[in-house]
Structure 1
Amino acid sequence: MSQPIVAFESVYGSTRQYASELAARCGVEAVSFDEAQARLSADPQAPLVVLSPVHGPMNAGAKFITDTDLGDRRVALCTVGMTLDDVAVKKDGSARALGNKADRVTRFYLSGRLNYSELSTAHRTTMWTVVNMLKAKPMKNANDKMMIETFDTDVDRVDLTRLDEVVAWANG
């Protein structure tokens, strides 16, 4: 059985942390999307695990998968974000982002880290706008309340034990 290919993109570091840990547990190296392309060609049977943060509607991992010829390999997408777990699973934004490939991609959601102290000015401004819109919203759900309460606070919800099921899938 081929070893899995662990490909990732990270903006602020939590996705890189997950990818590095997953790769270590699988006995491989975590690689960029560009490097993953070469590895996919070299081993058409290797399972592919893609890790990517989600920023609003953008999921670079889903785009990588939709833009890539996957052949018959098994594929998983691990989306890293700050949305509460039950909301992320229920909305399943990764399925929408994957389009017609969604049915053949196993999807995982991993809680990330959002350190306001490290945000770019543009990202911080976007978060300020989102939070102020949520404050004006009459019926706030638990995720809305969490975003309001944690605004301008460094929050780390990375939990490497969440990788256990991804490792089981990768070795599956």
Structure 2
Amino acid sequence: MTFGIGESVMATVRNPARGQQIWYQPGPLTTILGRALGGRIGRASGGWDIGITKVHLFPSPIFTSLKMPDSLSVVTFHRDEVWELPVNAEVLAWSDKTGVEMFRYGSHIMGIQGHPEYTKDILLHLIDRLFNRELIEESIAAEAKTKAAGSEPDREAWKKLCTAFLKGKL
């Protein structure tokens, strides 16, 4: 199977000195990125992960230098995940449901399973849309809305982290 991003990813892997930073973060693209780099992906054994999820950052000088907390909340909206990372990739974060929430490959490629750019309002709209199109059951929609009700995504912290990556500081 060929992916549209495959050539761009592989060109960057072969020649990171070109200065390109690739940040494919939306859930489906993160799994595609993992596969394009040689990892294994598939449907999550736990099914959909929809809501605002606490993502735990692995201890790292990267996060210490940015003064990141131990965990960040992010909008999650996926049912696929990276099962096995590509060789030389590093897991940066995990959640209770997903073992690879964020990874990087060298200093120029990073994937984030969640959606740091989404607000809670966008999430609630997406939940309704999935339910109305009969792509998720009512119980999953209700659970996702309940999960989202009491929290907000840490969008400013994610912005800081992603900006640092794009500036080559991770």
Length-normalised TM-score, structure 2: 0.39
Which has the larger helix fraction? 1
